[in-house]
Structure 1
Amino acid sequence: MDIVSRFKTYSVDFVDDLQGIATLSASDETFFVLDRKVYDLYKKELPAFPEGRLFLINAAEENKNIDTVLQICEQMTNMASKRNTHLVSVGGGIVQDITGFVATSLYRGIRWTFYPSTLLAACDSCIGGKSSLNYKGFKNLLGSFYPPDEIFIYQNFFRTLSPRDYCSGLGEVVKFNVIAGEDGIEKIERDIDAILGHDYKKLQQYVETSLAFKKKFIEKDEFDRGVRILLNFAHTFGHAFEVSSNYAIPHGSAVALGMMAANYISVQRGFISEDYALRIEKVCHKILQNIELQKEWFDDATIIGAIRKDKKQTGKNITAVFIQKEHTLGIYHDVKEQEVIQAVNHVIDISQS
Structure 2
Amino acid sequence: MMAWWQSAVIYQIWPRSFQDSDGDGIGDLRGIARRLDHLLGLGVDAVWISPFYPSPLADFGYDVADHCNVDPAFGTLDDFDALVAAAHGRGLRVLLDYVPNHTADTHPWFAESRASRSNPRRDWYIWRDPASDGGPPNNWLSEFGGSAWTLDPATGQFFYHAYLPQQPDLNWRNPAVQDAMLEVLRFWLDRGVDGFRVDAIHHLFEDAELRDNPTNPDWRPGMSPARRVIRARTMDQPEVQSAIAAMRRVSDAYANQRLLIGEAYLPIDRLMAYYGTDLGGFHLPFNFHLITTPWSAGAVADLVRRYEAALPRGAWPNWVLGNHDRSRVASRIGPQQARVAAMLLLTPARHADALPG
Same fold (TM over 0.5): no
Q: Which has the higher contact order (CA 8 A, sep 6+)?
A: 1
Please tell me whether Structure 1 or Structure 2 has the larger radius of gyration of its CA atoms: 2
> Greater share of helix residues, 1 or 2?
1
Using structure 2 for the length normalisation, give the TM-score: 0.30
Using structure 1 for the length normalisation, give the TM-score: 0.30
